[in-house]
Structure 1
Amino acid sequence: MTDAAQTPGGEHYLATLAGIVADAGDLGLELARVQIRELRMLAAAGRLAEVQVAQRNARVQVHDMALRSIAAEVGGVMRVTDRTVQRRIGEARTLIEGFPATVEAWEAGRIVRGHAFLIVETGTSLPAEMWAEFETVAITRCEQDTPNRVRGELEILAHRMHPRSFAERHEETAAGRCVRLVPGRDGMSDLVATLPTVIAAGIHDRLTQQARAIIDTRDERAATRRGVAFGGTAEDSIDGAPADTADAIATDARSTDQVRADVLADLLLAGTPALDDTRDTTAGPLGAIRARVQILVPAATLTGEDDGPCDLAGRSPIDPATARSLAGGTGVWERLFHDPTTGVTVATDSYRVPSGMRRFLQARDQHCRFPGCRTAAIRCEVDHTHDHALGGKTELSNLAHLCQRHHSMKQFTAWRVRELMGGVLEWTSPLGRTYREDAPTPAVAFTPATPPPPHAGPAPF
C-alpha cells in the first residue's frame, strides 16, 4: 500500500511538504545568524592582530606574524589550517567592515549568503570609497532574484560605476590570456584556457553543438556505415570501414561532457573531429557547425557613444569592441517592437512559432523564465504557457522560453504558471506559494518621440 505522504497532491503529502518548506525558511535564517556570527569572530581576530602591531609600531612582517599566530590558534579549534583561517579572516573583514548594509540585509533574511558574497566579489573591483554606493543598489536588485540571475547585472553595474572604462580594463586584462596545464589524479589533467569571455563562450557552444550532433545521429551513422541506407548488407560499408566500426558507433554511450572533451582533443591535435564522416572530401557536418552567442548591446555602446560592457546572455559581460565587431559582421539587422503596427508577428493560428516571433521572444526573455534559471534563451524551448492542445494561442502573450528541465517540470509536476501583462509569469508551487517572474530589463528601449506642438497659424502682426 502506498504511503499517503508519497501521493503527490494528497492532503498528507502537502502537509508534509509544507512542514519541510517552513523548516527550510527557519533554518535559513538560523544558519545565516550562525554564519554571520562566525564572520564577525574572524573579523575580530583580524582586528586583534592589527591592534597588537599598532601598539608596538611594528613593521608589516611583524603584523603578518601576529596574524599567523592568531590564525593558528583559531584554526586549532576549527580544525582547519592556519593558512585557511588567515584567508578567511581577510574575507570576513572585507564583508563585515566594508559592506555592513549587506550583512544587515543577510541577517534580516532579505538576501542569502550567495547574494552577500556576490556583492563583495563584484563590489571589491571598485575603489573602497564607492562600496557603500554600490551595495545600496546591489542589495535592492538581490532582493528580487537568485544569486546566479543577478550576477551579470551586478558585474555590469560595477563596471559602469568604475572610474576607468571597461574597454580600458579589458584591454589590460586580455594581455594575461594564457593556457595552463594543471596535473590531476589517476592520469588526468586539466587544460585551462584564460580567454576573452565571448571567445570562451563560442568555443564551448561549438563543442556542445558538435557533441549533440554526434550523440543524436549515432543510430543513423551506424546504419549508414553498414550500408543499410543504401540497400547493402550488415557487412557492407559505404567507405570500406569494417563492420565493427558501425558497432562501435552504435554502442557509443559517452555523455555530452565526454564527447565534448573528445571533440576538443580532435580539433586541437588533428584539426578535425574524428567522427566527421565527410571530413576527407569537404568540410563535414561537424566541421560546418559554428558557435552561436547571444549578446545584448546597448544602442549607445553600439554607436560608440558609450564604452561600457555588453551582456553575453547567460554568462557575463564582454568588452564593447568585441560586441561592435560581432554586430558589424552580421548580415541582417532587424528592429523588434512589441507592437503590431510595426509589422512584428504577434499571433498566429498555427502551433509553430514563426521566426519573427521567436526572435522577439529571445530579445524579451533573454533566458529561461522559471524563477532563478539563467539558461540563455537560445538554449531554451518556446513554450505555450496555456497549452496549445487545450486552446492556448500562439501569440506573444502566451509564449515564453523554458529550458528543457523546467519545461518538463511544468508538464509533469504540480507546478503551474500563468502569463500576465507585459510578459510577466506568475508561477504557483504545489503548496500554493507564488513566484513572480518579471521579464528581464531590455538592453535597449524604444520610446515614441515627443510630438510637435499643434500649428497655431501665423503670428499676428
Structure 2
Amino acid sequence: MFEEYPSGDSLHEPPNEETLPTPTITATLEVETVVEIQGVVVPVPGRSHTEDLCFLDYMRRSLALLELSGNAKEHHEILGRLEEIKGAAAGAQVLSATLFEADVITQRTDAGVRENNPSYGVGSQIALARRESPDQGRSFLAYSRRLVAHLQFTLAALLAGQISWAQAQIIVKNTEHLSAEHCEAVDQDLLRDPQALDGICSRALEDEVRRLSFLYDSSDALSRMEQANAQRYCSLYPARDGMMQLSGMFSVQDGLAIRQTLMKDAASLKVGGDPRSLNQIMADLAVDRLTGRDPAQGTQVMVNLVMTDRTLYQGSGEPAYLQGYGTVPATWARAVIKGSEAPDHAWYRAQVSLRRLYTHPQTGELLAMDSSSRSFPKNLKEFIRIRDQYCRTPYCNAPIKHFDHVVQHARGGATSAVNGSGRCGACNQTKEQEGWEEKVIETGGRHTIEITTPTGAVYTSTAPALPGTPAA
C-alpha cells in the first residue's frame, strides 16, 4: 500500500546472480574499499557512509543467493546463522537510531530551535525507515536509548548475534523502572555469560529479569502496580475469517475474577446439556454481558459495507469492505444484506442497520465530496474514514482520530475529500513539525499523498484498495 520512491541507485535493484561478486556500486569506490575472500570481491564497511551502504547491499544480495539444495542438517545450520545475523542487524539498528536522534538534536540546537522535546518526530522517521507504525518506531527508539545507555552487556550480546531482538526487548521492558545503577547491575548479572540464555523461553527470561529487578530494587513495586492499574484498557481488533479479537489489560484481581466467572458459568451450562464447546460458551457469555444483549434477540449494530454493484447484483466473487473490520468475502456480504441463515447464525440474528457504499467501476474510488468550511462536515468525515480505513502515515495501523488537511488550511488547502486524510492523533501532530511536507499527487487512481520527511526521504501513501479497484 505504501511505497518509497526509488532513489535511482543500486540499493533498490533486484538481486542479480551474475553481478553479485562485484556489486555495481563498487565501481565508483577506491580499490582499498573492497577485499577478496576466497576469490570473491567483498565490500568493507566502517570507513564511509557510501562503503557501508555498499556492504549492506552486498549482504542483502548474497542472502538471496544462498545454496538451496543442501540437506536438512545444512539448512538447520543456515537457519541458526541467519538468526544470529538478524540479532546483529537489530543491534546495528539500535546504534543507528540513537545516532540519528543525537544528530537531529544537535542540528536543532545549533539552529537555535527550542522545544520541550528536541527529538520530537525522530521516532516517526525511524518508523518509516523500518517500515512500521510510528508508535512502533517511537518504542524502538526508547528501547535503543536504554540499551546504549544502561544495558551494554545486552547490546553487546545482540550485536554478536547471541540473543534475539525479542529477548533484548524483554530485558529492556522489565528493567525500565530501575535506576541506571540497578539496571546496569541486572544487565551484568544476566548477560555476563550470554550462553546462560541458550534455550531459555521468553516467559522464563521475563521471570528471571523480574527476579533480578526485585532483588536490586523492590521498594516501589506496589506503586508501579498501582500505576499499571491506572493504565488498564480494553480493545477490539480485526482477526481472520470474519472474527474480532478482544484484548485488554486488567488488574490481576479483575482478570482472575473474569476468567473464573466465565469458566464457572460455562461449565454450568455445559453440564446442563449446552451443545457448544466451553470456549464458545465463554465467548458468547462475554459478549452477552459486555453488550447487555438478549441472546434471543441479537445485537444492534451499524454496518458500513463497501461493495461493487457486481458483488451485490451479479453474484461476483469480488470481496467487499466492512468498516471497522476490513475485507470480507462477497458471499458473506450478500448474506448480511439478504439476512440469509448460516450454520452459526449469530451474525444474522443481529439487528443490522446497513449503509451501502459503491465504488467507481473503472478506478475503484468513492465519489468525492467537498466543503468550503475549515472543519470537515460529518458526512465528509465518514467518507474519508471509509476511504482511508487507517491512519494515512505509511506503516501506521492506528485508527483514524483526526481529519487532517494534507496541505494545511492556513496555506490555502481546501476542506475536501481530495485534500483530506485520516490520521491518528500522534501522526497529525508530527506532520506539523518543521521539515515535514505533504501534497496530493494525481495518479489517475486511488487517493495518493506524497510525504517528505525532514531528512529529505520521500514516501507515498496510497489509500487502500476498495472493492472495484482494478488489479495492478
Normalising by the smaller structure, the TM-score range is 0.3 to 0.5
Report the TM-score, using the length of structure 1 for normalisation: 0.39
Report the TM-score, using the length of structure 2 for normalisation: 0.39
Higher percent of residues as strand: 2
Q: Which has the higher contact order (CA 8 A, sep 6+)?
A: 2
